[in-house]
Amino acid sequence: MMRSLWSSSKLLISFVLTGSLLLGGCASTGSGMLGAGAPAPDPRLTQGTDAEFFSKSGYQACAMGAGAAILACTLSNSGNKAVCMVAAGVAACGVAMGANYYVDQRRSEYANTSQRLQKYNSDVQLDTQKVVTRTATAQQVINDDKQQIAQIKRDLASKKIDKAQAQQQIAVIDSNIAQLRNEVNNMKTKVAGYNDVVKVERAQGNAPELKQMDANISKMNQKVASLQKEVDGLYSQRSAITLG
């Protein structure tokens, strides 16, 4: 058991170190999503309590969150640092660690199948609530951007603004769209991760007890799909403005 925990902790540390290197590279080169000189997204998308929910990929969020947690374990007086590090990694990363790793660690915590599945469901429900909370913020930005697009069209038609001025205003909307698309993709990755967890558990013959998890994942996926529809609608309206 101890050997397994130590191996898991070493794997987690390697995961975090690799992620840290990748994050460092991203920080030094800048995000390629928006392009050089692109304006920052609306502050509502980058600030506030829900801004960090899905702004980073699961891999990036895991590397950052687990890194801090593992450091705390190494500096603590914990009698078993390996157990502390593995527990910290699971808490910080969840399914972002990969379905097999996530399942293995949950099994080490919950040998009882029902208790383990309850924990899975709790994790899915928590992430679903994060999607709901984030969608509420995103919807405010999307609604404002749609109004802005309509205003830009009117101003162009009346020659109140020229194409250069319109482009400046649209650039902010483009940044918002890029930010939202990135977050939706990260949400989809989480949904896929939970579906992989179901597959792993179902392969062990636990299919009847996974119905509730299937239902919860489906609910989360519906929430993500609803947000994507809103983002796609905003992109469609923005695309109607051509300044070439």
**Average pLDDT for residues 12-30, to the nearest whole number?**
45
**Are 227 and 191 in contact, with CB atoms under 8 Å apart?**
no
- Per-residue pLDDT at 163: 94
Encode pLDDT of 211-234 as tens digits. 999 999 999 999 999 999 999 999
To the nearest whole number, what is the mean pLDDT of the chain?
Answer: 80
* pLDDT confidence bin for 92, thresholds 50/70/90: low
3-state secondary structure of 23: helix
Encode pLDDT of 184-197 as tens digits. 999 999 999 999 99
Containing 12, the helix (H) or strand (E) segment is helix 2-29
**Average pLDDT for residues 232-241, to the nearest whole number?**
96
The CA radius of gyration of the chain, in Å to the nearest whole number, is 22
* Spatial CA neighbour of 85 closest among 74, 96, 99, 95: 74
**Average pLDDT for residues 3-11, to the nearest whole number?**
48
Encode pLDDT of 105-141 as tens digits. 889 999 898 899 999 999 999 999 999 999 999 999 9
The rounded distance, in Å, linking the Cα atoms of 44 and 36 is 21
Q: Could you identify the residue written with the tokens 């300044």?
A: 243
Containing 207, the helix (H) or strand (E) segment is none
Where along the chain do its domains lie? Answer: 2-239
pTM assigned to the model: 0.76
- Per-residue pLDDT at 38: 84
